[in-house]
Chain A
């Protein structure tokens, strides 16, 4: 699992070095970088896929070494997956995930959001979409109170117990308080 002791040692021809924000170097197989549109473009721009080109380490100023390790774990798992296809208009959200993915993303929210930022920065569409769907799946079917627990949010809205209509008046909520009851069904059966 650890990326510092890669099982297959990359040779200089088929890898690049990336440097995390805290100065740690990672050897990355070129095959893995295909999943990151940011890295893939960089490699193609600098022609790093050619053996006769000298490769400088690539600084990733937005990504810590812990995040980089987590991302490499993702890239290695999806090494042989087909290229991610963009959703078309008939796309329907799926909340079904591989067990591996569920375990991989069983992390605290703050780490999840950092990972989402990193996936966005490196442009890894499969990881990005998966995190969004995992987060949405944790929200779906929950009442406001349950969502507060999931997202660890302390409310600033005092809801009437029965109607869920905010008691504390303010401009944004006074005119459209919702009936909590009708709009917060129980979670879907698993």
Chain B
């Protein structure tokens, strides 16, 4: 290769140039790839960076966004938006160097999706494992070109934000279930101040992810699934349209015997918190957080355990079960003994 002789970076012993590349930020590495073929090959062999633990993709009909966050070495982030334009693609980009000032350029005759996919491919080429992957889909379906760009991605925390709950079941298989620990599925309906809709978990519950995930949060979707299907998780947060007194009683019975499930949060704007609870569980320990916000708390003895089951009904529209140590209880609170039949 004739130009290699001029290439000072690749003329250094590899261990030394690697050290220089390791000090470079992500954007510089991408620029270096375009300097000449020698640096490109060198960087592609070396994969000097896997520096961004967190990635976010935004998928809209007419624009796509790619955001990389928490760069380890430079504590950096960068965000590029690819927008469909009558003449091609409008690209807007931000880095933390620019202190939030975005730059814009119209790329004549370029396809916004192609540009986005090129850069997404590159990110994936350098980095196969993410701590966090945030995928926000604002369309009703995901274009096949985009689906093709996804290969078993290793990620610990996955957030899927969707309008259409079926997209969540469609996207989940693209993520490696063995690394996945935390899964959050949320609805865009709440941001738009629309009423919550239901999510059908039947397909998702058939996937390996359902078995490997430790913490599951389904936000702003109602679920029909009953608690026994969630018992193998460690932490669960879900929403129910309505929670009756009978449901609360059954939840308490289940949670007092639950082995894996240590924390359960059920959101609902319709919780039956009436005198029947006091008749059954006794007087709650009342925590008046603010004048509007009150928490009614009961403590239940867990058979054959040092731990106590804390049960909270919050006026903010949620109830929560949590396992705590007895010394974490307020001193004047009482423990309700439970007899399981």
Binding site for B on A (CB under 8 A): 91-93, 109-110, 113, 116-117, 120, 128, 132-133, 135-136, 139-144, 147-148, 151-157, 159, 162-164, 166, 170, 172-173, 176-189
The residue that A188 contacts in the complex, of B31, B80, B97, with Cβ under 8 A, is B97
Q: For the complex, count residues of B whose C-beta is within 8 A of A.
A: 58
- Given the interface pairs A128-B19, A153-B6, the reply to whether A139 lies near B24 with Cβ below 8 Å is yes
Quick check: A181 and B91 within 8 Å, CB to CB?
Answer: yes
Nearest CB on B from A32, distance (A): 23
In the bound complex, CA of A162 to CA of B115 (Å): 12
Nearest CB on B from A128, distance (A): 7
In the bound complex, CA of A155 to CA of B1 (Å): 12
In the bound complex, CA of A33 to CA of B125 (Å): 43
Nearest CB on A from B174, distance (A): 20
In the bound complex, CA of A185 to CA of B8 (Å): 23
Which of B33-41, B273-281, B297-305, B325-333 faces chain A?
B33-41
In the bound complex, CA of A7 to CA of B93 (Å): 55
Contact residues in A for B93 (Cβ distance below 8 Å): 181-183, 185
Instruction: Identify 20 new A-B residue pairs, CB closer than 8 A, beyond the known A135-B20, A140-B28.
Output: A93-B25, A93-B73, A113-B16, A117-B16, A136-B21, A139-B20, A140-B24, A151-B7, A153-B3, A153-B6, A153-B39, A154-B3, A155-B35, A156-B38, A163-B115, A173-B40, A176-B122, A178-B118, A181-B93, A182-B119
In the bound complex, CA of A117 to CA of B20 (Å): 12
Quick check: A156 and B3 within 8 Å, CB to CB?
Answer: yes
3 nearest interchain CB pairs?
A136-B23, A144-B34, A188-B97
Question: B93 — nearest CB in chain A belongs to which residue?
Answer: A182
Contact residues in A for B99 (Cβ distance below 8 Å): 189
- Interface centre among A91, A142, A187, by most chain B C-beta atoms within 10 angstroms, is A142
Which of B100-108, B136-144, B260-268 faces chain A?
B100-108
Quick check: A132 and B3 within 8 Å, CB to CB?
Answer: no
Question: B105 — nearest CB in chain A belongs to which residue?
Answer: A181
The residue that B27 contacts in the complex, of A117, A162, A179, A184, with Cβ under 8 A, is A184
Binding site for A on B (CB under 8 A): 1-3, 6-9, 11-13, 15-16, 19-25, 27-28, 30-41, 44, 72-75, 78, 80, 82, 91, 93, 95, 97-99, 103, 105, 107-108, 110, 115, 118-119, 121-122, 125
Quick check: A172 and B119 within 8 Å, CB to CB?
Answer: no
Quick check: B16 and A116 within 8 Å, CB to CB?
Answer: yes
In the bound complex, CA of A109 to CA of B12 (Å): 11
Total contacts A-B at CB 8 Å: 161
Quick check: A156 and B31 within 8 Å, CB to CB?
Answer: no
Quick check: A157 and B36 within 8 Å, CB to CB?
Answer: yes
Contact residues in A for B16 (Cβ distance below 8 Å): 113, 116-117, 120
Contact residues in B for A176 (Cβ distance below 8 Å): 118, 121-122, 125
In the bound complex, CA of A108 to CA of B1 (Å): 24
- Given the interface pairs A163-B110, A179-B107, the reply to whether A155 lies near B3 with Cβ below 8 Å is yes
In the bound complex, CA of A65 to CA of B215 (Å): 63
Quick check: A151 and B35 within 8 Å, CB to CB?
Answer: yes
- Interface centre among B6, B20, B22, B31, by most chain A C-beta atoms within 10 angstroms, is B31
Contact residues in B for A148 (Cβ distance below 8 Å): 35-36
In the bound complex, CA of A91 to CA of B73 (Å): 7
In the bound complex, CA of A136 to CA of B103 (Å): 23
Contact residues in B for A177 (Cβ distance below 8 Å): 118
In the bound complex, CA of A189 to CA of B100 (Å): 13
Contact residues in A for B20 (Cβ distance below 8 Å): 132, 135-136, 139
Nearest CB on A from B109, distance (A): 8
In the bound complex, CA of A155 to CA of B21 (Å): 19
The residue that B33 contacts in the complex, of A91, A154, A156, A178, with Cβ under 8 A, is A178
In the bound complex, CA of A91 to CA of B82 (Å): 33
- Interface centre among A179, A181, A189, by most chain B C-beta atoms within 10 angstroms, is A179
- Given the interface pairs A113-B11, A113-B12, A135-B23, the reply to whether A157 lies near B37 with Cβ below 8 Å is yes
In the bound complex, CA of A63 to CA of B163 (Å): 65
In the bound complex, CA of A153 to CA of B3 (Å): 8
Quick check: B97 and A185 within 8 Å, CB to CB?
Answer: yes
Q: 30 A-B residue contacts at CB 8 Å?
A: A93-B25, A113-B11, A113-B12, A128-B19, A132-B22, A136-B28, A140-B28, A142-B31, A144-B32, A144-B34, A147-B35, A151-B9, A151-B35, A153-B7, A156-B1, A156-B2, A156-B36, A157-B36, A170-B37, A173-B40, A178-B33, A179-B91, A181-B107, A183-B30, A183-B31, A183-B93, A187-B97, A188-B97, A188-B98, A189-B97
